[in-house]
Amino acid sequence: MERKPVKQAEERRAVYPGTFDPITHGHVDLITRSLAFFDEILILIAHSGKKKPLFEAEIRKELVKECFTDESKIRVETYDGLLADYAKQAGIRVVLRGLRGISDFDYEFQMATMNRRMYPELQTFFLMASERFFFVNSTLVKEVISHGGDVSELVPPHVEKKLRERLC
């Protein structure tokens, strides 16, 4: 009887795209919780035609990397193009996305459907935001700090420092 070789388990990799302008504790929490499901998470600093970021892509990349200096399962890159194209080129078949509420779902559902249309093997893994950070988004953080408010519980200290340098 001939034995077939044991197939190696495929590496479970996911891409988590976003502008991360800036990264928040909500993002960090979602990424950290996702590590239980994936062997590698590639955080993709995306360019957005709809948004005018406060920080350049390379600064955002460094701010994100500083959040995960001790985590070997996380990589951070920048990309200016379609997510489906990036994922296909990188051999990644899972997109990680966080959901805070119904309005997030509507937008994310549309994006997931379009991405799958362009790259049929691409699936979207939705993870609910933790209750602690359900209300947090980057726009709100920038608004609060620009008016002198305290965002220390919303963003990592190095991010708060960079925000204060830029907005205060």
Catalytic-residue membership of 88: no
Catalytic-residue membership of 164: no
Cα–Cα nearest to 143, from 124, 168, 116: 168
SS3 51: coil
Residue 126 identity (one-letter amino acid): F
* Catalytic choice (13, 25, 60, 138): 138
Alpha-carbon gap, residue 50 to 47, rounded angstroms: 9
Residue 123 identity (one-letter amino acid): Q
Quick one: tokens of 141? 């953080």
Q: E-strand spans in 32-131?
A: 40-46, 74-79, 94-99, 123-128
* Catalytic choice (25, 27, 97, 142): 27
* Catalytic choice (33, 65, 93, 100): 100
* Catalytic choice (12, 47, 51, 132): 51
Tell me the CA distances in angstroms from 85 to 37, 71, 79, 116, one per residue in order.
Answer: 23, 26, 10, 11
Catalytic-residue membership of 100: yes
* Active site (catalytic) residues: 27, 51, 100, 138
